[in-house]
Amino acid sequence: MKKQPADKERFLVNLIKNGFETTRVDEFILAQPDWEYLLGSSVREGVFYPFYLNLLAIDPKGRLIPEEFRDRFQQVYYLHLSKSAEFSDNIDRLLNFIDSLNIEVLSFKGAAIDALIYDGYFRPRLDVDIVVKDNDVSTLKNVIATPEYDRSMPLHIHRHLINNTFLTMDSALRMDMEKVWDNTEPFKAYRNISTLKPELNILYLAEHALKHDFDQLVFLYEIERLINFYKERLDWNKFIELACEFGMTRIVYYGLYFVKEILSGDVPDRVMDSLRPKRFTLGEKRFIEDTLHNRCNRYSSYAVYLAARVGLLKKTNFLFRTAFPAGANLKDNLARLRRLVLR
C-alpha cells in the first residue's frame, strides 16, 4: 500500500470500521474529503462495497457524495454487484458438482466467509480454495481433468490448510490436519462440504492476512466483520489454545492487533495479552509502524516470520532456506537473490 495523507486514509477507515454509524454527516461534509481518492482507494483496498453501503446508511438523502461523483459511485457499485452475481453462480455450480462426488471437502476463505459477512454479496476472487484428504486428492484431480468438467471457476486443491512458504519451510508450524478436520462444521446445506469453526476461521484469516503483508484493508475488514458475526459463538479460550498448539501465537497476534487498532475490532484485551510476544524485534517494530501508517510493501512481514524462529540456529536455517529453497537449482537461487537485492 502506498503512503497517503493521513486525513484521506481516516475517512475511508472510519466509514468501514466498527461503529461507523456515529459518524456525523455535517462534520464529514465540512472536512471536504477527497472523493477521487476515496473512490479509487476503496476499490484498490477491496472495501468499496461496504464503504459505499455505509455512506448510504448514514446519508440516505445523498448529501455526502458531490453530484459530479454520484454517477461514478453508482456505476462502480453496480459493476461490483454484477461481478458478484456471476461469481456466485459459478461458485454454486462448482460446489454442487464437488458435493456430488461424495468425498469430504473443506471450503475455506472466499465464499465460505462471504456468505457470513456480506449479506448476499460475494467478493469476486481468482479461484476457489478447498482442502481434501490425501486419499481423495487423486480422485478429485482425475475428475476435473476430464473434458466434461466446467472450468469457468478455477479450483485450487490443497492437502493442508496453510499454504505459506514462510511457515512450512521448516518445523515452525505444528498444525495437525486431523485437528483441523475436527474443528469444522457443515457448510450451508451441502452433504459433503464443511467449513471452519469460528476459532479456526479467525486464526486462519489472521495468518492469511499476515502472509499478504496486510496489503489490502479488506483483509482486516473481513476479520473484524467475522468476529462481529460470531459474537458469543467465538470461544476466545479455544482460539488461544489452538494458536498455542499450532505454534502460531506470534503469527496471528498481528492480525488481531491491527483489527483492534485500525478498525476498533472487538478483541478482548486478555486475548491480546495471551498472544503478545514477550519482546518485539526491531524489524517487527518497523513492520508495526509501517502497517499502522499504510506504508507496507511486499514481504514486509518477513521480520515476523524470522522472529517466530527461536534460537540462532533456527533463524540462520530460516534465512538460508529463504535465499536457497530446497529443490531449487543454483541458477534459480542466484536469480532470486538478484531480485531481492534490486527490487
In-domain check, residue 75: no
DSSP-derived pairing of the beta strands 155-158 and 184-186: unpaired
Over the stretch 131-180, which tens digit does the pLDDT of each residue have? 999 999 999 999 998 888 888 889 999 999 998 888 988 888 899 999 99
In-domain check, residue 258: yes
Q: Could you tell me the CA-to-CA distances from 248 to 113, 175, 210 in Å, in that order?
A: 21, 9, 12
In-domain check, residue 79: no
Looking up cell 479456526 gives 200
In-domain check, residue 290: yes
| Together in a domain, 340 and 321 | yes
Q: What is the pLDDT of residue 342?
A: 46
Looking up cell 452433504 gives 191
| Together in a domain, 173 and 103 | yes
Over the stretch 31-77, which tens digit does the pLDDT of each residue have? 778 999 999 999 999 999 999 999 988 888 777 888 999 999 999 99
Asked if pLDDT for residue 330 goes beyond 80, the answer is no
The mean per-residue pLDDT over the stretch 96-110 comes to 94
| Together in a domain, 7 and 59 | yes
Q: What is the pLDDT of residue 187?
A: 95
In-domain check, residue 94: yes
Q: Which amino acid is at 123?
A: R
| Together in a domain, 97 and 138 | yes
Domain count, the chain: 4
| Together in a domain, 145 and 240 | no
- Domain boundary among the residues 150, 171, 196 is at 196
In-domain check, residue 250: yes
Q: What is the pLDDT of residue 328?
A: 61
pLDDT interval class at 325 (50, 70, 90): confident
| Together in a domain, 224 and 304 | yes
In-domain check, residue 73: no
| Together in a domain, 300 and 318 | no
Q: What is the pLDDT of residue 332?
A: 65
What DSSP element (H or E) covers 194?
strand 193-196
Whether 140 and 103 have beta carbons less than 8 Å apart is answered as yes
| Together in a domain, 101 and 181 | yes
Q: Which residue stretches of the chain are H helix?
A: 6-14, 25-30, 35-44, 48-58, 67-99, 111-117, 134-144, 165-168, 177-182, 198-211, 217-230, 236-245, 249-263, 269-275, 282-292, 302-307, 312-323, 330-342
In-domain check, residue 320: yes
Compute, in degrees rounded to 10, the torsion defined by CA atoms 294, 161, 130, 321.
70
CB-CB neighbours of 10 under 10 Å: 12
| Together in a domain, 103 and 189 | yes
| Together in a domain, 240 and 314 | no
Which of 329, 333, 302, 300 shows the shortest CA–CA distance to 315?
Answer: 302
| Together in a domain, 222 and 289 | yes
| Together in a domain, 272 and 321 | no
Confidence (pTM): 0.90
Domain that holds residue 315: 310-343
Which of 270, 265, 263, 260 shows the shortest CA–CA distance to 10?
Answer: 263
